[in-house]
Protein backbone atom coordinates (compact mmCIF):
# COMPACT_ATOMS: atom_id res chain seq x y z
CA UNK A 1 0.00 0.00 0.00
CA UNK A 2 1.31 3.43 -0.93
CA UNK A 3 0.72 6.69 0.94
CA UNK A 4 -1.80 9.18 -0.34
CA UNK A 5 -0.15 11.46 -2.86
CA UNK A 6 -1.15 15.00 -3.69
CA UNK A 7 0.32 15.51 -7.14
CA UNK A 8 1.08 18.87 -8.69
CA UNK A 9 -2.30 20.38 -9.43
CA UNK A 10 -3.76 23.82 -9.89
CA UNK A 11 -6.69 25.83 -8.59
CA UNK A 12 -9.21 24.29 -6.20
CA UNK A 13 -7.59 20.84 -6.25
CA UNK A 14 -4.23 22.21 -5.15
CA UNK A 15 -5.92 24.23 -2.41
CA UNK A 16 -7.68 21.10 -1.16
CA UNK A 17 -4.41 19.14 -1.13
CA UNK A 18 -2.68 21.86 0.86
CA UNK A 19 -5.54 22.17 3.34
CA UNK A 20 -5.51 18.42 3.95
CA UNK A 21 -1.74 18.42 4.46
CA UNK A 22 -2.00 21.30 6.95
CA UNK A 23 -4.74 19.48 8.89
CA UNK A 24 -2.59 16.36 9.06
CA UNK A 25 0.32 18.37 10.46
CA UNK A 26 -1.88 19.97 13.11
CA UNK A 27 -3.41 16.57 14.03
CA UNK A 28 -0.09 14.81 14.60
CA UNK A 29 0.36 13.31 11.13
CA UNK A 30 3.44 13.01 8.93
CA UNK A 31 3.56 14.83 5.61
CA UNK A 32 6.38 14.52 3.08
CA UNK A 33 6.77 17.85 1.33
CA UNK A 34 9.13 19.47 -1.18
CA UNK A 35 11.79 21.99 -0.35
CA UNK A 36 14.39 23.44 -2.68
CA UNK A 37 17.05 21.19 -1.11
CA UNK A 38 15.44 17.74 -0.72
CA UNK A 39 12.00 16.41 0.26
CA UNK A 40 11.33 16.61 3.99
CA UNK A 41 9.37 14.34 6.33
CA UNK A 42 7.43 16.86 8.36
CA UNK A 43 5.57 16.96 11.68
CA UNK A 44 4.35 19.72 13.99
CA UNK A 45 7.52 20.87 15.76
CA UNK A 46 5.53 21.53 18.96
CA UNK A 47 4.10 17.97 19.06
CA UNK A 48 6.63 15.61 20.67
CA UNK A 49 4.58 12.50 19.87
CA UNK A 50 4.33 13.42 16.19
CA UNK A 51 8.05 14.14 16.04
CA UNK A 52 8.73 10.74 17.64
CA UNK A 53 7.00 9.14 14.64
CA UNK A 54 9.61 10.73 12.37
CA UNK A 55 12.40 8.93 14.20
CA UNK A 56 10.48 5.64 14.06
CA UNK A 57 9.65 5.88 10.36
CA UNK A 58 13.20 6.81 9.39
CA UNK A 59 14.95 4.49 11.84
CA UNK A 60 16.79 7.59 12.96
CA UNK A 61 18.72 7.65 16.26
CA UNK A 62 17.48 10.14 18.83
CA UNK A 63 20.90 11.82 19.09
CA UNK A 64 20.46 13.26 15.58
CA UNK A 65 18.49 16.54 15.84
CA UNK A 66 15.92 17.78 13.35
CA UNK A 67 15.73 21.07 11.49
CA UNK A 68 12.67 23.22 12.14
CA UNK A 69 11.19 24.89 9.06
CA UNK A 70 9.52 28.27 9.46
CA UNK A 71 7.97 30.76 7.06
CA UNK A 72 9.76 33.95 8.11
CA UNK A 73 12.41 35.60 10.24
CA UNK A 74 9.60 36.66 12.57
CA UNK A 75 8.52 33.05 13.19
CA UNK A 76 12.14 32.00 13.64
CA UNK A 77 12.69 34.60 16.34
CA UNK A 78 9.76 33.25 18.40
CA UNK A 79 11.56 29.89 18.67
CA UNK A 80 14.98 31.09 19.87
CA UNK A 81 16.25 32.83 22.97
CA UNK A 82 18.90 34.86 21.16
CA UNK A 83 19.04 36.50 17.75
CA UNK A 84 22.57 37.85 17.25
CA UNK A 85 23.58 40.31 14.57
CA UNK A 86 25.21 37.51 12.57
CA UNK A 87 21.89 35.63 12.44
CA UNK A 88 20.12 38.73 11.20
CA UNK A 89 22.72 39.39 8.49
CA UNK A 90 22.67 35.80 7.25
CA UNK A 91 18.90 35.39 7.40
CA UNK A 92 18.30 38.58 5.46
CA UNK A 93 20.83 37.48 2.84
CA UNK A 94 19.94 33.79 2.43
CA UNK A 95 16.35 33.27 3.62
CA UNK A 96 14.25 31.90 2.09
CA UNK A 97 16.98 29.49 1.04
CA UNK A 98 19.31 26.58 1.86
CA UNK A 99 20.83 27.87 5.10
CA UNK A 100 20.07 26.50 8.58
CA UNK A 101 21.03 28.56 11.63
CA UNK A 102 21.58 26.85 14.99
CA UNK A 103 20.67 29.05 17.96
CA UNK A 104 19.65 28.69 21.64
CA UNK A 105 16.08 27.37 21.68
CA UNK A 106 12.96 28.40 23.52
CA UNK A 107 11.33 25.84 25.86
CA UNK A 108 8.40 25.58 23.42
CA UNK A 109 10.56 23.33 21.21
CA UNK A 110 10.44 19.79 22.64
CA UNK A 111 13.75 18.17 23.52
CA UNK A 112 13.10 15.32 21.08
CA UNK A 113 13.43 17.79 18.19
CA UNK A 114 16.89 18.89 19.32
CA UNK A 115 18.35 15.61 20.63
CA UNK A 116 18.14 17.08 24.12
CA UNK A 117 20.43 19.95 23.20
CA UNK A 118 19.74 23.54 24.24
CA UNK A 119 19.93 24.67 20.61
CA UNK A 120 17.69 24.34 17.57
CA UNK A 121 18.40 24.48 13.84
CA UNK A 122 15.98 26.71 11.93
CA UNK A 123 15.56 27.67 8.31
CA UNK A 124 13.08 29.26 5.89
CA UNK A 125 12.78 27.06 2.80
CA UNK A 126 12.34 28.77 -0.55
CA UNK A 127 10.00 26.25 -2.17
CA UNK A 128 6.57 27.91 -2.50
CA UNK A 129 4.71 24.73 -1.49
CA UNK A 130 6.79 24.33 1.66
CA UNK A 131 6.09 27.93 2.66
CA UNK A 132 2.40 27.54 1.89
CA UNK A 133 2.23 24.40 4.04
CA UNK A 134 3.87 26.09 7.03
CA UNK A 135 1.51 29.04 6.74
CA UNK A 136 -1.58 26.88 6.31
CA UNK A 137 -0.63 24.65 9.26
CA UNK A 138 0.14 27.68 11.42
CA UNK A 139 3.00 25.91 13.19
CA UNK A 140 6.71 25.38 12.55
CA UNK A 141 7.45 22.03 10.92
CA UNK A 142 10.26 19.75 12.09
CA UNK A 143 11.57 17.81 9.12
CA UNK A 144 14.61 15.75 8.21
CA UNK A 145 14.93 14.28 4.72
CA UNK A 146 12.08 11.89 3.81
CA UNK A 147 14.09 8.65 3.56
CA UNK A 148 15.46 5.90 5.83
CA UNK A 149 18.34 7.09 8.00
CA UNK A 150 21.77 7.21 6.26
CA UNK A 151 20.24 6.38 2.88
CA UNK A 152 20.06 8.51 -0.23
CA UNK A 153 17.95 11.65 0.19
CA UNK A 154 14.87 12.11 -2.01
CA UNK A 155 14.64 14.91 -4.54
CA UNK A 156 11.27 13.88 -6.03
CA UNK A 157 7.96 12.66 -4.60
CA UNK A 158 8.53 9.30 -6.29
CA UNK A 159 11.79 8.85 -4.37
CA UNK A 160 9.78 9.28 -1.15
CA UNK A 161 7.16 6.75 -2.18
CA UNK A 162 9.80 4.20 -3.12
CA UNK A 163 11.74 4.52 0.13
CA UNK A 164 9.07 5.07 2.80
CA UNK A 165 5.99 3.45 1.27
CA UNK A 166 2.82 3.76 3.36
CA UNK A 167 4.63 4.98 6.50
CA UNK A 168 3.82 8.58 5.47
CA UNK A 169 0.28 9.94 5.75
CA UNK A 170 0.56 12.18 2.69
CA UNK A 171 3.16 13.07 0.06
CA UNK A 172 2.91 16.52 -1.48
CA UNK A 173 4.40 16.52 -4.97
CA UNK A 174 6.11 19.81 -5.79
CA UNK A 175 8.33 18.58 -8.60
CA UNK A 176 12.09 17.95 -8.50
CA UNK A 177 14.19 19.77 -5.90
CA UNK A 178 16.25 22.53 -7.49
CA UNK A 179 19.19 22.78 -5.06
CA UNK A 180 19.47 19.02 -4.71
CA UNK A 181 21.52 18.58 -1.52
CA UNK A 182 20.74 19.44 2.08
CA UNK A 183 21.15 22.91 3.56
CA UNK A 184 24.31 24.47 4.91
CA UNK A 185 24.16 24.34 8.73
CA UNK A 186 25.86 27.07 10.73
CA UNK A 187 25.90 27.34 14.53
CA UNK A 188 25.74 30.80 16.06
CA UNK A 189 25.03 29.48 19.56
CA UNK A 190 28.51 30.10 21.01
CA UNK A 191 31.24 32.72 21.01
CA UNK A 192 32.30 31.77 17.46
CA UNK A 193 30.44 30.77 14.33
CA UNK A 194 30.85 27.08 13.47
CA UNK A 195 30.11 25.37 10.18
CA UNK A 196 28.42 22.09 11.11
CA UNK A 197 27.48 20.92 7.60
CA UNK A 198 28.56 22.40 4.27
CA UNK A 199 26.05 22.99 1.51
CA UNK A 200 25.87 24.96 -1.70
CA UNK A 201 26.72 28.29 -0.05
CA UNK A 202 30.52 28.68 -0.19
CA UNK A 203 32.12 29.32 3.21
CA UNK A 204 34.10 32.39 1.99
CA UNK A 205 30.77 33.97 1.06
CA UNK A 206 29.45 33.47 4.58
CA UNK A 207 32.68 34.76 6.11
CA UNK A 208 32.47 37.89 4.00
CA UNK A 209 29.29 38.73 5.92
CA UNK A 210 30.07 37.68 9.50
CA UNK A 211 33.83 37.11 9.73
CA UNK A 212 35.79 33.92 10.49
CA UNK A 213 33.92 30.62 10.76
CA UNK A 214 35.36 27.49 12.36
CA UNK A 215 34.72 24.15 10.65
CA UNK A 216 33.38 21.49 13.03
CA UNK A 217 35.07 18.15 13.48
CA UNK A 218 33.18 14.88 13.01
CA UNK A 219 30.48 13.88 15.48
CA UNK A 220 30.95 11.16 18.07
CA UNK A 221 28.39 8.97 19.83
CA UNK A 222 26.81 11.82 21.81
CA UNK A 223 24.05 14.08 20.51
CA UNK A 224 25.09 15.62 17.22
CA UNK A 225 25.12 19.39 16.88
CA UNK A 226 23.55 19.09 13.42
CA UNK A 227 21.88 16.56 11.18
CA UNK A 228 24.14 15.00 8.57
CA UNK A 229 27.12 14.52 10.90
CA UNK A 230 26.93 10.72 11.02
CA UNK A 231 30.08 9.38 9.30
CA UNK A 232 28.04 7.15 6.96
CA UNK A 233 25.25 9.05 5.29
CA UNK A 234 23.54 9.88 1.98
CA UNK A 235 24.24 6.36 0.68
CA UNK A 236 22.64 4.52 -2.23
CA UNK A 237 22.07 0.81 -1.65
CA UNK A 238 24.64 0.09 -4.36
CA UNK A 239 28.21 0.48 -3.03
CA UNK A 240 29.59 3.88 -4.01
CA UNK A 241 33.30 4.45 -4.61
CA UNK A 242 34.87 7.88 -4.87
CA UNK A 243 37.81 7.79 -7.26
CA UNK A 244 40.38 10.26 -8.52
CA UNK A 245 41.04 10.67 -12.24
CA UNK A 246 43.02 7.65 -13.42
CA UNK A 247 42.02 5.36 -10.55
CA UNK A 248 40.85 1.92 -11.71
CA UNK A 249 37.21 0.97 -10.98
CA UNK A 250 36.36 -2.05 -8.81
CA UNK A 251 35.77 -5.47 -10.29
CA UNK A 252 32.27 -6.31 -11.45
CA UNK A 253 29.52 -4.42 -13.23
CA UNK A 254 29.13 -0.73 -12.56
CA UNK A 255 28.76 2.77 -13.97
CA UNK A 256 30.71 6.01 -13.66
CA UNK A 257 29.61 9.55 -12.92
CA UNK A 258 32.40 11.67 -14.40
CA UNK A 259 32.86 15.39 -13.95
CA UNK A 260 32.17 17.30 -17.16
CA UNK A 261 30.67 14.25 -18.88
CA UNK A 262 27.75 12.56 -17.13
CA UNK A 263 27.82 15.29 -14.49
CA UNK A 264 28.07 19.10 -14.83
CA UNK A 265 31.39 20.82 -14.19
CA UNK A 266 29.72 23.67 -12.28
CA UNK A 267 29.08 22.90 -8.56
CA UNK A 268 25.51 24.19 -8.20
CA UNK A 269 24.38 22.38 -11.34
CA UNK A 270 26.17 19.23 -10.16
CA UNK A 271 24.49 19.35 -6.75
CA UNK A 272 21.07 19.87 -8.35
CA UNK A 273 21.16 16.48 -10.11
CA UNK A 274 23.50 14.41 -7.92
CA UNK A 275 20.92 12.51 -5.87
CA UNK A 276 18.64 12.02 -8.87
CA UNK A 277 21.56 10.47 -10.78
CA UNK A 278 22.41 8.18 -7.86
CA UNK A 279 18.75 7.14 -7.45
CA UNK A 280 18.64 6.24 -11.16
CA UNK A 281 21.80 4.13 -11.00
CA UNK A 282 20.67 2.52 -7.77
CA UNK A 283 17.79 0.80 -9.60
CA UNK A 284 20.05 -0.97 -12.11
CA UNK A 285 21.34 -3.82 -9.96
CA UNK A 286 24.97 -2.73 -10.33
CA UNK A 287 27.90 -4.01 -8.29
CA UNK A 288 29.22 -0.49 -7.81
CA UNK A 289 28.74 3.16 -8.68
CA UNK A 290 31.98 5.08 -9.25
CA UNK A 291 32.00 8.85 -8.86
CA UNK A 292 34.91 10.97 -10.01
CA UNK A 293 36.10 13.02 -7.04
CA UNK A 294 35.15 16.69 -7.46
CA UNK A 295 37.61 19.54 -6.78
CA UNK A 296 38.61 20.23 -3.17
CA UNK A 297 37.40 23.84 -3.34
CA UNK A 298 34.93 25.89 -1.22
CA UNK A 299 32.20 25.87 -3.88
CA UNK A 300 32.34 22.06 -3.98
CA UNK A 301 32.45 21.47 -0.21
CA UNK A 302 28.81 20.40 0.11
CA UNK A 303 28.98 17.95 -2.77
CA UNK A 304 32.31 16.53 -1.59
CA UNK A 305 30.94 16.09 1.95
CA UNK A 306 27.93 14.10 0.67
CA UNK A 307 30.03 11.89 -1.59
CA UNK A 308 32.66 11.24 1.08
CA UNK A 309 30.05 10.09 3.59
CA UNK A 310 28.20 8.06 0.95
CA UNK A 311 31.40 6.19 0.07
CA UNK A 312 32.13 5.04 3.67
Rounded to whole angstroms, the Cα distance separating 98 from 231 reads 22
- pLDDT value for 2: 46
Angle of helix 85-94 relative to helix 203-210, nearest 10 degrees, comes to 130
In terms of phi and psi (left: phi > 0; alpha: psi -120 to 50; beta: otherwise), the region of 171 is beta
List residues bridging with 100 in a β-sheet.
Answer: 185
Predicted confidence at residue 8, as pLDDT, reads 58
What average pLDDT is seen over the chain?
93
Which is nearest to 265 in space by CA: 246, 287, 292, 289?
292
| CATH superfamily of this structure's domain 4-215 | DHBP synthase (3.90.870.10)
Instruction: Quote the crossing angle between the two packed helices 11-26 and 128-137, to the nearest 10°.
Output: 50
Q: For residue range 278-294, what is the model confidence (pLDDT) as tens digits? A: 999 999 999 999 999 99
Residues 246-265 have a mean pLDDT of 94
DSSP classification of residue 21: H
Write down the domain spans for the chain: 4-215, 240-310
Q: 67-69 and 240-243: which strand pairing?
A: unpaired
Residue 218: per-residue pLDDT: 67
Distance CA 34, CA 152 (A): 16
Contact 158, 218 (CB under 8 A): no
Q: What tens digit of pLDDT does each residue of 186-234 get?
A: 999 999 999 999 999 999 999 999 999 999 986 544 566 666 656 667 8
Flag whether pLDDT at 174 surpasses 70.
yes
In tens, the pLDDT along 110-137 reads 999 999 999 999 999 999 999 999 999 9
In eight-state DSSP terms, residue 263 is B
Question: Distance between CA atoms of 130 and 281, rounded to whole angstroms?
Answer: 28
Amino acid sequence: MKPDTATRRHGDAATTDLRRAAELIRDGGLVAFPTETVYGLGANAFDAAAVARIFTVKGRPRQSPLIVHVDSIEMARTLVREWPLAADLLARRYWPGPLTLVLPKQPSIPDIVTAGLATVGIRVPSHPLALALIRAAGVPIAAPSANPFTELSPTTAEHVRQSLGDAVDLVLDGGPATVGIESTVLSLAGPEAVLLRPGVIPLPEIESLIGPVRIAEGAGAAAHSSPGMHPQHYRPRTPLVLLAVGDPPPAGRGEWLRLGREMPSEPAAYAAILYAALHRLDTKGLDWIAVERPPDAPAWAGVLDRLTRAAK
